[in-house]
Chains A and B, each alone.
Chain A
Amino acid sequence: MNKENINHDDLLRKFMNQGKIEKAPEGFSAKTMARIMIEKQSEPARRSFLLRNIVPIVSAAVTIALVLCAIFIPAGNNGSLGTAVWSYFNDIEITLPRFDNSWFENSAVPLWIGYVVPGVLILMFFDIALNSFFRKKDNPGN
């Protein structure tokens, strides 16, 4: 420390020392403990590992199922497991709604827009629905 710095140090030590600390206000401990007790009481019961990690577990399960399907279902539909799974999916009769796309064909709008826009809307709907569902689960008080 040079002389000037020592002078500054002395000056500040004259103004500040442990005896001059600002004390916490009256009732500080009681208020803090009250906050801790409230938090402890409102703490949700410990959820099981399965419930706490439901999203990654479901995602992993679906991904694994899709990967297995891709591996075991052969292109020619031969093989016992592949045939069984393939026939099962083939037996499900799903009628996808057909919409009149003549307007698109006659307009300057590219045809694929007609598929992309409903796709985006469906994804948006799922996003909102899942978001509200999981947020509600995470914040049961709200």
Chain B
Amino acid sequence: MRQSAGMEKNSDISYIDKVLAGNLNAFSYLIDRHKDKAFNLAFRICGNREEAEEIAQDAFLKAFRSLKDFRKKSSFSTWLYRIVYNTSISLVRARGLRVLSLEEFPADAVDFLSESKNEDEAIDNYRNSLVNFALQKLQEEERGLITLYYYDDLETDEIARITGIRKQNIKVRLFRARQKMAEIIKTVEKKNVFYNE
């Protein structure tokens, strides 16, 4: 597993070298490899697909512009996620905080069942919507931490490098964010017959 991560890093670096040598198409390989995680991080922080796409594209563009300054000691993904994280946080702060109420969650279970192929898919869609809803009730930095920790399964050291927050602070903030999210999820679940079946 560790060997494959190392191979991935070396492979990224070899494509970066190709881009720096003038082969622009080599950058499309880096986009293909990292686009989903970059998009997911942006989406979970800003909560909007269109804005997330814009942020992820901007992040790749910024990365391309600064590729010559990239220090190959760290991995390309860490560097890219740092750009995505900072861009997303800036955008959300500029847009202003929108406070959602618990009533805004679409708790009608029939909606999930009618829009899904089967019950398993309906449960997945329901959970995904509930997670997005709960994330939007957190502060923007907490959304980023939760995403990097649970979706990307990163260690706190790596999260510290991406967010620029100290490792000890990350643990404290993750604890609080986890608590808040769990409370929101439990509150919504209590109201929802579908999930309690």
Contact = CB atoms under 8 A, between A and B. Distances in A.
Interface residues of B, number: 40
A66 to B, nearest CB: 38
Task: Report whether over half of chain A's contact residues are helix, strand or loop; otherwise say mixed.
Answer: helix
Given A15-B127, A18-B152, A28 B37 contact: no
A7 interface: yes
B24 interface: yes
Interface string A1-41: 00001011101111111101111110011011101110110
Nearest to B43: A22
Contacts of A5: 175, 178-179
B103 interface: no
A21 B49 contact: no
Given A8-B179, A16-B131, A24-B39, A29 B32 contact: yes
B70 to A, nearest CB: 15
B53 interface: yes
A17 B124 CA distance: 11
A23 B146 CA distance: 17
Contacts of A15: 127, 130-131, 185
12 contacts: A11-B185, A12-B146, A14-B127, A18-B151, A22-B43, A24-B56, A25-B49, A25-B53, A29-B35, A32-B35, A36-B24, A36-B61
